[in-house]
A and B are shown apart, each in its own frame.
Chain A
Amino acid sequence: MEKTRLELFRGTLDILILKSLIWGPLHGYAITGLIRRQSDDALLVEEGSLYPALWRLESRGFIEAEWGLSDNNRKAKYYHLTSEGRRHLRAESKTWEAYAEAVAKVLGATQPPRQETT
């Protein structure tokens, strides 16, 4: 199975994590799974960057952790969004969309920009 590996821009991982938690509490492995499935296997989050990002988000108060039992009855650390995290996610996704739109405009351009009139 061939996977496309997309480099995640700094800060992007954070909002992906926050977004994935919007459906409910998840543990770390489940988060990677969710992101992978949601992106049709396009985004693969590496463990080495996932966990530090998770902990940083926790220390900034955007998510909180709680121990619970996973589906296969294992003890797992579940993360859920705080209201502050929700706010952060809203703000960040707006920024991200504006950014993506701008990038898309540039890349999708079919003709050079018109001369600016001064």
Chain B
Amino acid sequence: MKKIPMWRRHDRILGSDPKGDLKAELRLQVECKTEDLIARGWLPEAARTEAERQFGNILAVQLVGERIGEHMERRRRISEYYSEWSQDARYTLRILRNNPAFAAVAILVLAIGAGLNAAVFSVVNTMLLRPLPFPQSHQLVWFTAGKSFDAKVRTAGGLSAETYTVDVFREFQRTNRSFQDVTAFQTFYNSLQYKLTGAGESRQVDAVEVAGNFFPTLGVTPLLGRNFTEEETLKGGRPAALLTHYFWKTQFDSDPNIVGKTIDINTSPAAVNGPVTIVGILPASFDFGTVFAPGKKVDLFVPAVMDFWKGWGNTLAVVGRLKPGVTAAQAQDEADRLFPQLKLQNKDWYYDYASNLTTLKDHVAGKLQRSLVVLWCAVGLILLIVSVNLSNLQLSRAATRSKEFAMRRALGASRGRLIRQLLTESLILSLFGAVVGFAMAWAIVYYLAHQRSIALPLLTTIHLDSAALSWTLVIAIAVGILFGLAPALRISGTNIQEVIKDNAAGLAAGRSHERFRSILVISELALACLLLVGAGLLLRSFLRVLDVDLGFNPSHAAAMQTDLPPAANKDQLVQRADFLKSEIDRVSVLPGVQSVGIADMLPLDRNREWGLASVGRYHAKDADTGALVYLVTPGYLQAIGMRLREGRDFSWNDTPDNQPVIIINEAGARREWPGEDPVGKLAYGAGNKPSRVIGVIADVRESALEQNSSPEIYVPMTQNSDVEGATLIVRSSIDPDGLATSVLATLRSLNPSQPATAFRPLQALVDHSVSLRRFLVLLVTIFATLGVLLAALGIYGVISYSVTQKTQEIGVRMALGASRGRVQRGVLAKTLRLAIAGIALGTIGSLGAARLIASLLFATSPWDPFAFTVMAASLIAIALLSGYFPARRASKIQPMDALRSN
């Protein structure tokens, strides 16, 4: 074999041609054979024909060759790609090892971005995206009564306006066609207090009464044992209970033999007394609180005896499971027709119970949607800032590596190869960041899932799953490409010669780099602006909410559940009043106690609605006469810190034999006696006889801090027996925790069966009520702080870099007489220009974006000038601060050194 001379290589000048090569190879075969045959005496024509004949099907062979060739080509390309990639990866790891500071900063910044995103994604995924933890949960529908009321009345009616009577529930259950089954639970959990007795010191347990078909309808199967039987749900049936997994674990050490045994449970007022059979244990995956009552802990479930609740008004919350194939809209349609129809047949119904049907998922997560979307956007912004920041970091590093790149290009590396190298670097960094970030997200999620104080549904079920993992990876790769691509394109595009020569012309490229980096910093600042404005507005709303006049004073007061003796008739009611009086009297004299009172329900907790209608005033038929009702003892108003505007408090002399009296709030006075003094007037509200208004209190925020008061009536427990539990309020001059034991001992001395319960500070009610807002504000503020820090890092990077680049220039200027101050001012002015551009851009963006969070704000305009001013001022201050250090460095430049060094 001889080498092909240079002049005969022309035919491959336009690149390789595998098919041509193949043909040439086969043609040579035929030609060689022909020549051989001629040499052996064949005629040329015949020789050629014979050679071709001997070859056989030349095309088929050619085809085989092409296939094999393609296969080889593909394999070669893959292995080449892989080897180049592993080269890049090794090189990257080496670079990162040699620049631990850069690697650490980049990975940390990335981890923050990826971690926050993964954590918030888990929250969003659990609450908005993932179905509820029930089989075929999309079939579950939540009923909200009061569709025909206007919104204001509905909120004023509290829970009572959204729930159903036993009759309505049963009728709908019987007549509807859209649902496989409709079930209910009793929303006034505390009407009956449950005590676990017989096992050591008696303790309070939290029970929820559910319809017999509650668990089957939800699709929850007991882990052990069985569901309630028909018989157990009837009046006089054998008392039964299902334990929650948690209660079973903590109270009974997960003893499987507990099923079938009885425990002693007492309720007051008595509905159950004595042994209750444990018929089953619910699975750990079922958490009533997370779905239906965020923050509520439930120990056991008992059957709601419908015949018992029949006369109690609106108490049932209703959930239905749609038949397969029936949509929520169809069910709504049926309900819209059915409820008015049922009302016509049942004249005694309070109203038509027109209902809004929403999927259970929407009911649980609907209110959160906007908050969560805001959170999601906020972490998205963080991620953008992270990418921009890393882009910037990568650029400044790349600038110092420009010689390396120029050399590689000069040695024959293609532009694509360099871009790939840089992308590999950023992707590897992102993956490292993702790993660290995922660990961070795990910690955040673990922390969140163990916050019982935050009233967020499903919060306890949050965990990192494969979806969150994939999301983190997607984010890491996206960020890697985002922050790697721009610098890669820019660097690889620079002029090789200029860089290698490193003369003044190279500065042009430097300038364009700097312009690009300035744009990056400006956008970073603008993004930080958005976050700051959002956080500012939310924070301001939060402070405004905390500033709201509650109408009561939560500090230095605490609540404890207490027992009530039964009061089925008037004599018992009098006895109960005596009992309450002695309880209050005894607790009042404890050292440190200032005032004591008892109420059945507390503000910002659950509530119920009766009515308030002034006597002698015309009420239109559909006029709203609803009012929230609280049964209280004398002294309660003072103990909780409600302010009596006029009139007097209840006294122990307001007995059943005397004139029934009530106290109302200002909202009630405004509605029923506009412009008049209500004290001394008569009104229907509690009981059948009109009651006399003896006092008016300042409005109380009873359902949420953000909501204005609706009319309320306060009814003395001495005259009315219809209580919804009993809570003792103690106002003290010392820390209520120190009082807990002595108060409990005092209650025990009067009533040995008083269960052990903890003091709950009233502040906890307020905290619980604002927990969602606090959660949102806290997170958004953290995000904004991070965003600003990252932006500051970006500014510092750019200014610092430009000072380094201009060392010579600054040296010349100083040599020519520029003062230190002047140099410093110059650098700061540049910083300021960047900051102002960023803020201007960010402000414009924020003005638009603020409208999106308007519905989350309270008493704050989305264009709140204060928030915007503070944002701008703090950003400028931070920008100047991050520009100050490079500026000082610039002013310290020694002209001679700067000129000598290159």
Contacts and interface: CB of A to CB of B under 8 A. Distances in A.
Do A and B truly interact?
A: yes
Given A47-B54, A47-B55, A68 B3 contact: yes
Interface in A3-29: 24-25, 27-29
B8 A28 contact: no
Interface stretch (B66-74, B418-426, B428-436): B66-74
B28 interface: yes
Contact of A52 (B2, B56, B61): B61
A66 B12 CA distance: 13
B78 interface: no
B28 A74 contact: yes
B57 interface: yes
A105 to B, nearest CB: 37
A76 to B, nearest CB: 5
Contact of A78 (B1, B26, B54, B55): B1
B203 interface: no
A118 to B, nearest CB: 51
A116 B878 CA distance: 98
B55 A48 contact: yes
Report, as a range, how many residues of chain A touch the other chain. 20 to 34
Interface stretch (B29-37, B87-95, B509-517): B29-37
A51 B26 contact: yes
Contacts of A91: none
Interface string A75-109: 11110000000000000000000000000000000
Interface string A44-83: 0011100110011011000000111110101111100000
A69 B3 CA distance: 6
B3, B32, B35, B60 interface centre (most CB from chain A within 10 Å): B32
Contact of B28 (A24, A48, A70): A70
State the majority secondary structure of interface residues on B: helix
Nearest to B63: A52
A15 B57 CA distance: 24
B26 A69 contact: no
A47 B25 contact: no
B24, B57, B75 interface centre (most CB from chain A within 10 Å): B24
B563 to A, nearest CB: 89
Given A68-B2, A75-B8, A76-B28, A51 B21 contact: no
B1 A47 contact: no
B25 A51 contact: yes
A58 B8 CA distance: 25
B11 to A, nearest CB: 9
Contact of B68 (A48, A59, A68): A59
B151 interface: no
Given A52-B61, A59-B68, A27 B28 contact: yes
A72 B33 CA distance: 13
Nearest to A29: B32
A59 B72 contact: yes
A28 B21 CA distance: 13
B623 interface: no
A77 B61 contact: no
Contacts of A55: 64-65, 68-69
Contact of B1 (A28, A46, A69): A69
Contact of B61 (A51, A56, A69, A75): A51
A75 B56 contact: no
A28 B28 contact: yes
B887 to A, nearest CB: 63
A68 B4 contact: yes
Contacts of A78: 1
A27 B65 CA distance: 15
A55 B24 CA distance: 14
Contacts of A24: 1
B54 A68 contact: no
A28 B8 CA distance: 21
Contacts of A77: 21, 24-25, 28
Contact of B64 (A46, A52, A69, A74): A52
Contacts of B29: 28-29, 47, 51
Nearest to B75: A59
Given A48-B55, A74-B31, A77-B25, A69 B65 contact: no
B21 A47 contact: no
Contacts of B72: 58-59
A66 to B, nearest CB: 8
A69 B2 contact: yes
Nearest to A56: B68
A51 to B, nearest CB: 5
A78 B61 CA distance: 18
A76 B54 CA distance: 20
Nearest to B67: A55
Given A28-B28, A29-B32, A70-B28, A46 B68 contact: no
Nearest to B31: A74
Interface string B670-704: 00000000000000000000000000000000000
B65 A29 contact: no
A47 B56 contact: yes
Nearest to A25: B1
A75 B55 contact: no
B65 A51 contact: yes
Contacts of B69: 55
A73 to B, nearest CB: 8
A95 B29 CA distance: 31
A68 B1 contact: yes
Nearest to B5: A69
A70 B25 CA distance: 12
B80 to A, nearest CB: 14
A52 B56 CA distance: 14
B4 A69 contact: yes
A76 B8 CA distance: 12
Contacts of A28: 25, 28-29
Interface string B131-172: 000000000000000000000000000000000000000000
Contact of A59 (B1, B21, B35, B71): B71
Nearest to A60: B72
Contacts of A75: 4, 8, 24, 28
Contacts of A76: 1, 25, 28
Contacts of A51: 25-26, 29, 61, 64-65
Contacts of A25: 1
Nearest to A48: B56
B25 A46 contact: no
Nearest to B76: A59
A7 B33 CA distance: 21
Nearest to B30: A47
A70 B29 CA distance: 12
Contact of A67 (B4, B26, B32, B56): B4
Nearest to B62: A51
Nearest to A24: B1
B4, B25, B64 interface centre (most CB from chain A within 10 Å): B25
Contacts of A46: 54, 56
Contacts of B56: 46-48
A24 B2 CA distance: 12
A56 B72 CA distance: 9
Contacts of A47: 26, 29, 54-56, 61
Ranked 8 nearest A-B pairs via Cβ:
A68-B1, A29-B32, A55-B68, A69-B2, A59-B72, A78-B1, A47-B55, A77-B25
Interface of B: 1-5, 8, 21, 24-26, 28-29, 31-33, 35, 54-57, 60-61, 64-65, 68-69, 71-72, 75
26 contacts: A28-B25, A29-B29, A46-B54, A47-B54, A47-B56, A48-B56, A51-B25, A51-B26, A52-B64, A55-B68, A55-B69, A56-B68, A58-B68, A59-B71, A68-B3, A68-B4, A69-B4, A69-B5, A70-B1, A70-B32, A74-B28, A75-B4, A75-B24, A77-B24, A77-B25, A77-B28
Interface of A: 24-25, 27-29, 46-48, 51-52, 55-56, 58-59, 66-70, 72, 74-78
Given A27-B28, A55-B68, A58-B72, 7 more contacts: A25-B1, A47-B61, A48-B60, A51-B26, A59-B72, A74-B28, A76-B25
